[in-house]
């Protein structure tokens, strides 16, 4: 793509990398930020470029998603690297970390090379592969972690499945200590979760479904923290969802354990009560809505309770939770339009992430500065040893930015998704907040079209 030239006037720049939060004008010429300051567009000095009125808008560094499932190679009917990148750009993400549960899995340098080569074809956003902890993600034999790092991986995970064997986790953390890359665990004791569809509690009882207890996550978080405390390495907790997990992570950080954590927009905004009917916070004995048992709400880990959400939000505010990551997990129609127990786990997250997070801002639950911090600087801290730290919004750098509108209504319509998956539990719901413009490496990779 050709480099862009444009100006944005009177925009609020929130740049966590440089601790900037002020209203300025900005000029971008051939993709390079050439000037930032006040009154850059006086009539006598107006440059020969398109100028966007940024009044009441926010300009942020491009978002970074630590947890994206691109499904490519192997399940291109659900998503391809190209459609995933385009969906990410629409969501304001200029860098995404691709998870390794593809077919074949990302357990060798050849598959890493395929992902990197394929992503570079399209000149869109940056894709950073996560490699497998074990060969074939089978949990039996450790992968060639050194080779995976040298090939370009920025972390290791068997996501989709936990690293169940504690000895394997110990070895992975010891490698992590030397490689400087995080081991990202999907914390689930499958003997407790039993692949249930919903959180264990009043809602699962009301629906007549087997429940997934918080302890299935808590026990493995505690195990991994103890291993990291003993053997070192960088432990990263994927998609934390319980109140106790937040407590354990906080205790570990206070003890000096090298542990980081992420939370998803859906775990911050939706509870298990949505299974009674979307957005319903009603008595469990009230008759169920027509949208009860929605399989599009089935995620792993499951949607939890209000108490858990409150703890997760506290974790974000206090820095216990380092990053917000989408866990974008697109599925084909046949994977979801079935019984709840038979449906696949996963939610389409890239294109709705900012809109969901903006709803927390409008409810005075999270400040927009906190949200942007967790989507940028917080995410960078997790993979800091494998990437060059973004320089942020400063003069002389390529524009890697996203323009945000907090106040315009956005109605979620799945058929308008760029992702190959058009499924969402948010179908038809209206929120305030959207991404207007995304520039990656100086080029426009997404622009909102109001027509």
Active-site residue set: 327
388 CB-near residues (< 8 Å, 6+ apart)? none
Quote the CA–CA distance of 109 and 125 in Å, as a whole number.
21
CA distances from 407 to 33, 51, 57 (A): 26, 20, 9
CA atoms of 138 and 136, how far apart (whole Å): 5
Pair of tokens at residue 412 = 């979620």
Cα-Cα-Cα-Cα dihedral of 9, 12, 15, 16, to 10°?
180
Closest of 271, 277, 352 to residue 308, by C-alpha:
271
The C-alpha angle with vertex 194 and arms to 192 and 199, in degrees rounded to 5, equals 80
Annotate 135-204 with DSSP letters as a single string: GGG-SSSB--HHHHHHHT---EE-TTS----HHHHHHHHHHHHHH--EEEE----HHHHTT-SEETTHHH
Nearest residue to 320 (alpha-carbon basis) of 381, 371, 273, 251: 251
Q: Please report where in the chains the tokens 């750098």 appear, as a residue.
A: 397
**3-state DSSP assignment of residue 409:** strand
């Amino acid at each position: 793509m050709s480099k862009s030239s444009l100006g944005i006037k009177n925009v609020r720049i929130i740049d966590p990398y440089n601790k900037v939060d002020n209203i300025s004008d900005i000029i971008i010429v051939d993709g390079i930020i050439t000037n930032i300051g006040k009154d850059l567009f006086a009539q006598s000095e107006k440059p020969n470029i398109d100028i966007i009125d940024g009044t009441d808008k926010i300009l942020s560094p491009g978002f970074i998603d630590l947890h994206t499932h691109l499904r490519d190679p192997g399940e291109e009917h659900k998503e391809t690297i190209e459609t995933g990148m385009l969906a990410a750009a629409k969501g304001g993400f200029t860098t995404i970390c691709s998870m390794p549960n593809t077919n074949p899995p990302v357990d060798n340098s050849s598959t890493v090379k395929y992902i990197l080569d394929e992503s570079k074809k399209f000149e869109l956003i940056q894709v950073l592969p996560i490699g497998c902890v074990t060969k074939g993600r089978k949990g039996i034999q450790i992968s060639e972690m050194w080779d995976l790092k040298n090939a370009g991986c920025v972390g290791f995970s068997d996501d989709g499945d936990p690293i169940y064997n504690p000895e394997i986790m110990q070895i992975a953390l010891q490698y992590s200590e030397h490689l400087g890359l995080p081991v990202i665990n999907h914390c689930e004791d499958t003997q407790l979760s039993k692949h249930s569809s919903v959180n264990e509690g009043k809602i699962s009882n009301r629906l007549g479904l087997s429940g997934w207890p918080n302890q299935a996550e808590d026990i493995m978080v505690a195990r991994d923290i103890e291993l990291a405390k003993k053997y070192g390495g960088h432990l990263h907790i994927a998609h934390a969802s319980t109140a106790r997990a937040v407590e354990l992570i906080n205790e570990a950080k206070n003890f000096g354990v090298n542990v980081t954590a992420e939370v998803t927009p859906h775990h911050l905004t939706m509870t298990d009560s949505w299974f009674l009917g979307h957005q319903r916070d009603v008595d469990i004995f009230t008759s169920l809505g027509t949208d009860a048992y929605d399989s599009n709400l089935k995620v792993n880990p499951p949607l939890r309770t209000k108490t858990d959400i409150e703890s997760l939000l506290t974790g974000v505010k206090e820095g216990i939770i380092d990053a917000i990551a989408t866990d974008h997990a697109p599925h084909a129609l046949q994977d979801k339009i079935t019984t709840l127990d038979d449906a696949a786990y996963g939610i389409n997250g890239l294109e709705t992430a900012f809109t969901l997070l903006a709803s927390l801002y409008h409810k005075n639950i999270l400040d927009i500065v906190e949200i942007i911090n967790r989507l940028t600087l917080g995410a960078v801290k997790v993979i800091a040893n494998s990437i060059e730290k973004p320089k942020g919004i400063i003069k002389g750098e390529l524009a890697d930015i996203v323009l945000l509108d907090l106040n315009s209504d956005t109605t979620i319509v799945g058929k308008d998704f760029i992702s190959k998956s058009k499924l969402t539990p948010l179908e038809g719901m209206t929120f305030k907040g959207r991404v207007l413009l995304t520039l990656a490496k100086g080029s426009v990779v997404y622009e909102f079209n109001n027509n």
